[in-house]
Structure formats: structure tokens, C-alpha cells
Chain A
Amino acid sequence: MALRQTKSRDFTRIYSLGASRGRQVVTNDDVAGPIDSSDEWIRQRTGIITRKRAGADQSLIDMALEASKEAISKANINPSEIGAVIVATITFPYQTPSAATLLADLVGAKGAAAYDISAACAGYCYGIAQADALVRSGQADYVLVVGAEKLSDFVSPTDRSISFLLGDGAGAAIVGPSDHPGISKTVWGSDGSNWDKVGMTASQLDFRDHKAEWPTLVQEGQSVFRWAVWEMAKVAKQALEEAGLKPEDLSALVTHQANIRIIDEFAKQLELPESVVVAKDIVDTGNTSAASIPLAMHRLLAEGQVKSGGYALQIGFGAGLAFAAQVVELP
């Protein structure tokens, strides 16, 4: 008897997106005091006017579920058709089990393969890469990919490096088979030599042993800025090349919503024509790590800034350092 393998498919695409943001609106004045800052200082350096955060009554799973339900409904599929659920997150407060298994059960994807991935702000694009591969290989018919973060559980009010940027939210996508190319080859990678550039103030063991306060997020902003703009612009150009497209073929650039200064400089490096919409959801959502790209893309579509069927270059980059970029057809 010969070994049997799955039959592969040629193409995949994103069918739909769903979004959920923290219900609390946190202004710059709300966060400025403990970092001896001001609304003007924060706006000038980050572009953020407000960030959305989840209170004690809104969990990471709540947001992931809300976003997923919208995506499943818009994809017009039955949840039982979902073969795998991937949650990209760094803030689910349990080492194990994963957020994905719980989410799979809650959305009605009973029995689906389910797992979390830890690739920080690159997590959603890692998830799309995996979903594309799973569907094309025939391992799953439909995959639910969710970037979900409740970063506000891991911020320090006195941290001037990253905490004041952060918001909470979840963005979901359904990836499935397509009769035409809808997701280009992912250009991805990591640089562990810069493992300490973005991360936590301490390990959980240090906290347990009373050697450190509750671990919170921290970054070396200047180094990250250089990497995120100039190194990641090269990755974005490579992704565009792999997709066989020119900048003018794009409808949108959806970068990880890290900081408006990164986004603006990034767009400048790519020399995009004015016809390409640059997503700036960060202005009133804040930086939501793995959730930021689907949230920003969802918003562009919801506001009619881009049309379904256009192409968007999406790129995630962050702690690891880890990065991933691909061109997708807008759902």
C-alpha cells in the first residue's frame, strides 16, 4: 500500500475580517501624568490621540470571540467548516491551555485543530502564512486566524518606552480556498541577536521569586525605530517582488500600527504613489500588537477607503525580533 498525502490546492484568499476593540477610551491626558509628559508630546512622537483599552469586564477571549463571530458571519461559512484556529497573542494570561482551543469551542468550530502562536506584532502575518499553507496543502478547508491582545494587563504607567502606546483589541480573518491568487508568498524571519530590544522587564520566575515587579512590556525605542523602518522596508519591497506587483498596483499599505512616525517614514521609504492608502488606525486605537493589522485593514474597508478585490501589502514586525510580510487581496 502506498502512503496517501493530502491533495493540494493552488490558491487561497482572505474571505472576511472581524474586529473588536477595548471599550474604554484612554486619552493622552489619562496616561501623561506618570511619565511626566503631555498630550502634545505624545501626539508629536507617536501620532496617538486615544487608545482603546479593555477594562476588567472585557477579556482577551471576549474580544477574540466578537471579532471571530463577525469574520465567520461575513465569510458566509458554517463554523463547523473551520479546520484550524490560530490565535496570535502574547498576552493570554495562561501558559496553557491555549486561547485558541477555547475560542474554537466558543465559535462552534468543534474539534478543529487549535493553537496559539507567539510572534508578537508579527503574529497575525505569521498566522496568515500558516493558514495559507494549511489550506493549500489540504490540511484544512477554512482557517480562523485571530490576532488578540489585552496589552493593558502588561503595561507600567511609569514606562516611557512603550506602555503609553498600547491598546487592546482583536482582529480576525477567515482564510479559505480560492480560484485565483489571494495571498502572496510570505517573506518572514527573525533576528534573535536582538532578542532584548523589545520584551518584558522580567521573567515570570523573577516575579514569583520576588526578585522583580509584575513583568511589563519595554523596548529600546530608537533601535527598534531604525530596524522597523529601514530593515522592514527592505522586507516589504521583497514581499512586493515575490507577489509580482509594483507599488502602484497596491490599494493599501497596512503596517503593524506601532507608531505613526514609523508608519510615515516606512511609507516614505517605499515611495508609494498617492493612490495607495496608508492605514493609520493607531491614531485612536493605539498599538495593539498582533491585533493591529487586521483591525487597521478592517477599518479601511468599513470606512470605504479601499475596495474589496484590491491588493494590500501587510507587514508585521516586533519582539523577537520577528517579522512577516505578504500581499493579500482585500476581502
Chain B
Amino acid sequence: MALSQAEVLAGLAELVNDETGIATDAVQMDKSFTDDLDIDSISMMTIVVNAEDKFGVKIPDEEVKNLITVADAVNFIVGAQA
């Protein structure tokens, strides 16, 4: 069953926390991965691959550069589940 936006956000926040140690409640929809959360490109890719596993979706390399904010990632994952 497809997860809701809130559920994907919560799951993504856990992945961000696992990779970077950033508190899960700091991972909010309007935050930029690079500018606000200070996540570098390699950590971002690790989060992406782990998100593919966790949510059962494919996130192609060319899509990763479009995931600027947490909302971008959450919305992509929610859409890809459908």
C-alpha cells in the first residue's frame, strides 16, 4: 500500500539521520538538503539508494540533481509509489 506524504517524510528523516546524524525533526519539507542540512553529494546518494530500498521505488541518477528540498524527495517518492 502506498505511503502518505507524512509517512514518507518520517521514513526519509530516519534515513537522513542514519547517514548524517541530523535529528529527524530537523528534516522538514521546506529544507534544502545542501544549503540547510549541509548534506554533501555522496551522502545524498547514499540516502537515495537507501530510500529506494526502503520505499521500493527507483530514483534514477538524472533525477537526483532535481531533489533540492526534502519536499522534492518526498513528493518524488510518493509519486513513484503510485
Contact yes or no, A230 B49, CB < 8 A: yes
Residues of the A chain whose Cβ atoms lie less than 8 Å from the Cβ of B64: 222
Q: Other CB < 8 Å A-B pairs besides A222-B44, A222-B64, A225-B45, 11 of them? A: A44-B40, A45-B40, A45-B42, A220-B61, A221-B41, A222-B41, A223-B61, A225-B42, A226-B45, A226-B48, A230-B49
Q: How far is the CA of A221 from the CA of B44 in the complex (A)?
A: 12
Q: What number of A residues sit within 8 Å (CB to CB) of B?
A: 13
Q: Is A261 an interface residue (CB 8 A)?
A: yes
Query: Which residues of chain B (24-75) have a CB below 8 Å from chain A?
Result: 40-42, 44-46, 48-49, 61, 64-65
Residues of the A chain whose Cβ atoms lie less than 8 Å from the Cβ of B65: 222
Contact yes or no, A222 B42, CB < 8 A: yes
Contact yes or no, B46 A222, CB < 8 A: no
Q: How far is the CA of A44 from the CA of B42 in the complex (A)?
A: 11
Residues of the B chain whose Cβ atoms lie less than 8 Å from the Cβ of A261: 42
Smallest CB gap from A265: residue in B: B46
**Is the contact region of chain B dominated by helix, strand, or loop, or is it mixed?**
helix
A-side residues, CB < 8 A to B, are: 44-45, 220-223, 225-226, 229-230, 259, 261, 265
Smallest CB gap from A44: residue in B: B40
Q: Which of B40, B42, B49, B61 has the most CB of A within 10 A?
A: B42
Residues of the B chain whose Cβ atoms lie less than 8 Å from the Cβ of A226: 45, 48-49, 61
Residues of the B chain whose Cβ atoms lie less than 8 Å from the Cβ of A230: 49
Residues of the A chain whose Cβ atoms lie less than 8 Å from the Cβ of B61: 220, 222-223, 226
Smallest CB gap from A226: residue in B: B45
Smallest CB gap from A230: residue in B: B49
Residues of the A chain whose Cβ atoms lie less than 8 Å from the Cβ of B45: 222, 225-226
Smallest CB gap from B19: residue in A: A265
15 contacts between A and B (CB under 8 A): A44-B40, A45-B40, A45-B42, A220-B61, A221-B42, A222-B41, A222-B44, A222-B45, A222-B61, A222-B65, A223-B61, A225-B42, A225-B45, A259-B42, A261-B42
4 interchain residue pairs of minimum CB distance: A223-B61, A261-B42, A222-B45, A222-B41
